Structure 1
Amino acid sequence: MNDAVNYFNNGYTCSQAIVKTFKNEFNIDEKILEAISYGFGGGMGKSGNICGAVSGGIMVIGMRNMNEKKDIVYKKVNKFISEFKKINGETSCTKLLEFSNELSEEEEKNKFKKKICTNCIKSTVELLNSQLILTK
């Protein structure tokens, strides 16, 4: 989990931080993993849609289960999303960060966003390591 937060704090997007954390599970060049997950930060290209940590988590689930039938993978993805929502309340980047728009100071906004994003990253790593997601 600390690896993911460290990646994020060192400039990687939330989606990259998740995928890089699990890189040793896959026989894929790290630079390719970084490139594939690059555009998902900020809710997909900073559009505020699905949280990049969620997108990164779904990528990891897909890579872990690439030899499974679609319905098994979809079930795991849906379980992951459901559990993420229970923990964080939302999957939308915009809604997760909504309160930050009410803060007046830019520095305070950035601190708030960093805290929320860090929590989303941590919970994603925990979920990806949990039996809820690992089992069929």
Structure 2
Amino acid sequence: MDLFERLVELSQDGFFCSQIIVKLAMEEEGMEDKGVIRALSGLNGGLGFSGKICGSLTGGCCLIGYFAGKGSKEEVESVYLNQMIGELVQWFDDVYGKEYGGCDCTCILEGNPINKRTRCPQIVEAVYTKAMELLRENGVIS
């Protein structure tokens, strides 16, 4: 099953953009953390279905943080953490913010629920790919 088919399957299983992005990465790295996936549900639908900032973008930032952030007293975050997040946000704004007039779900969907099926899967795939690329380029994952 390719990446796009898998993310569509996860969507059909009831997961949303931010959850799908992190779940895909965990699967790729042979990990599972149901608590993290549950926590990401607060980002669904643009922060609790408020239509605010896109869950793909926030999920991508969380994905980078999951692998590059500080998780315990003994750990230190990657020196590239904020740079990677900044690059992801800038890239998202350059691509989708400009195309749709903003980074909020309401901008991306433009009031048409059909756009959720036509736009969101491609955005999820692109953000996942970009976030993983940034993590690899900066030596956080191999």
TM-score range, shorter chain: 0.7 to 0.9
Report whether the alignment pairs 1:8 with 2:11: yes
Which of structure 1's runs of 4+ aligned residues deviate more than 4 A? none
Aligned to 1:82: 90
Percent identical pairs in the alignment equals 27
- TM-score calculated relative to the size of structure 1: 0.78
Aligned to 1:124: 127
What stretches of structure 1 of length at least 5 have no aligned partner?
A: 102-108
What stretches of structure 2 of length at least 5 have no aligned partner?
A: 70-75
Find the partner of 1:72 among 80, 88, 98: 80
Aligned equivalents of 2:12 and 2:113: distance in 1? Answer: 12
SS at match of 1:22: helix
Aligned to 2:35: 32
Report whether the alignment pairs 1:45 with 2:57: no
Aligned equivalents of 2:135 and 2:93: distance in 1? Answer: 14
Answer whether contact 1:26 1:63 (CA < 8 A) is retained: no
SS at match of 1:94: helix
Flag the structure with higher helix content.
1
Aligned equivalents of 2:109 and 2:136: distance in 1? Answer: 29
Cα offset, 1:5, TM superposition: 3.0
Offset from partner CA, 1:90-115 (integer Å, 9 cap, x none) = 321111112xx2xxxxxxx3322221
Aligned equivalents of 1:122 and 1:27: distance in 2? Answer: 19
User: What CA RMSD, in Å, does the superposition of the two structures yield over aligned residues?
Assistant: 2.0
Find the partner of 2:26 among 4, 23, 27: 23
Aligned equivalents of 1:9 and 1:91: distance in 2? Answer: 24
